[in-house]
Amino acid sequence: MASKNIIKYTPGFNINDVQKKFNIKKIIKLSSNENPFVSDKVTKYINNNKHSLNLYPESKPSKLQSIIAKNIGFKMNENNIILGNGSNEILEFIARLTLNSSTEAIIPKHSFLVYEIISRLQNAKIIVSKPDSDKNSANYLGVDLDSVKSKISSKTRLIFLANPANPTGTYIKLSKIDSFLSSLPQKVSVIIDEAYYEYLDPKKDKSAISLIKKYKNLFVTRSFSKIYGLASLRIGYGISSEKNIEKLKLYKQPFNTNLFAQKAAEIALNDHDFVNESKKNNDIASAGLIQLFNKLSIKYLGTYCNFITFEVGQNSKALFEYLLKKGIVVRPLANYKLSKYLRVSLGTVKEMNAFKKQLILFYNAKV
Ligand SMILES: Cc1ncc(COP(=O)(O)O)c(C=O)c1O
């Protein structure tokens, strides 16, 4: 077994650990890009109903799949959807379907670490493409599709692209992705990971789901952990051609999504007010933080998600530890090869005010 090839995913700090270490009661967790809110309708469903905890959940939750299909549009139906224990599980199914020890996966530099972990588990060779190096571009350090293209070989079987991307927060227009996909060899599959898609202005651009009928090797993944506020329940989904979904289902355990996750996802999808409020809160938090970054002359990367990655330079460890002592947890990015940056998730107004106050104190700035 090639266990030396395997790398570990380091999650954001655990609340209990920080509480214990610094003897702080209230922790503000801005390290894992969670929604600070939960839909009241989901909470009511969980609190006010009797649940059949003794029974297995639906193995094929077709009602939820139909609701998802209707919600995403583009003439998708329930057979275009596969549900997963988080969208991470779908990424894993696709890696298992497409990669083995004689193949290569292309992963853009600074991508979500899970891509590398699951590709290594398949013993595939990992080829890292260069990031966008244009400092004046909103896509700075994001995906450079030309570099990805230049890395394609006869062994390439899978390309991972998050759009918008974590941790760079950058976004590539769909028209560019479309022409990129049109240039690929038949054997190459592509994942467009849209875990943060709902934070984009819906009128600005279409989802890559709109290209599924055009490209037979295209997979799109979506998450309920972000704008739908269900990270703890672990549920996400993949969208592709009916034929591809049938193949992915061969890797799925019969009961991979649980009862609460299935029902909560259904409720959250239909709770449009909650989703709109979450987006509004995110926009306000983002604008307020950008304003402060500008005042403090702090450079930041893309702003298309529910977090912002900002440049701290040599002081990044010191700032991280300073915030930790004040009970505010953000994400260091050394294992994303962005050691001079920190990533902060966008929380409630109160959480953001606490973060901004400490940032001002750390820099001893007058604003
Ligand atoms: C780019 C990206 N894709 C996928 C995921 C995983 O989401 P899920 O909770 O649905 O497994 C995350 C989580 O942070 C992410 O940042």
Per-residue b or e along 347-358, where b marks 16 or more CB atoms closer than 10 Å to that residue's CB = beeebbebbbeb
Which tokens go with 81?
A: 């959807």
Average pLDDT over residues 179-193: 97
The pTM (predicted TM-score) of the whole model is 0.95
Least confident span in 73-82, 202-211, 281-290, 335-344 = 202-211
Check pocket membership of 309 for ligand 1, CB cut-off 6 A: no
170 lines ligand 1 (CB under 6 A): no
248-302 pLDDT per residue, tens: 999 999 999 999 999 999 999 999 999 999 999 999 999 999 999 999 999 999 9
Atom of ligand 1 nearest to the CA of 224: 10
Tokens of 293: 């970054």
269-288 exposure pattern, b = at least 16 Cβ within 10 A, e = fewer: bebeebbeebbebbeebbee
The whole-chain average pLDDT of the chain stands at 95
Tens digits of per-residue pLDDT, 3-29?
Answer: 556 777 777 677 787 777 878 888 999
Query: Would you say 105 and 160 are in contact if contact means Cβ atoms under 8 Å apart?
Result: yes
CA-nearest residue for atom 3, ligand 1, is 195
Torsion of CA 18, 24, 30, 36, to 10 degrees: 120
Q: What pLDDT is attached to residue 366? A: 80
Nearest atom within ligand 1 for CA of residue 167? 16
d(CA 134, CA 155): 29
Q: Cα dist. 106→144, 261, 320 in Å?
A: 12, 32, 31
In ligand 1, the atom with minimum distance to the C-alpha of 223 is 10
Pocket test for ligand 1, best of 31, 68, 88 (most atoms within 8 A of CB): 88
- Model confidence pLDDT, tens digit, residues 114-150: 999 999 999 999 999 999 999 999 999 999 999 999 9
Contact 199, 306 (CB under 8 A): yes
Atom index in ligand 1 nearest the CA of residue 87 equals 10
Query: If you measure from the C-alpha of residue 40 to the centroid of ligand 1, how many angstroms do you get, rounded to a whole number?
Result: 23
Q: Could you tell me the domains of the chain?
A: 3-39+273-362 (3.90.1150.10), 53-271 (3.40.640.10)
Please check whether residue 199 is in contact with residue 164, taking contact to mean a CB–CB distance below 8 angstroms.
yes
For residue 196, report the distance from its CA to the centre of ligand 1, in Å: 8
Give residue 82's pLDDT band: very low, low, confident or very high (50, 70, 90): very high
Residue 64 has pLDDT above 90, yes or no: yes
- For residue 240, give the 3-state DSSP assignment: coil
Question: For 147-168, how does the pLDDT look when each residue is reduced to its tens digit (9 = 90+)?
Answer: 999 999 999 999 999 999 999 9
Q: Is the CB of 195 under 6 A from ligand 1?
A: yes
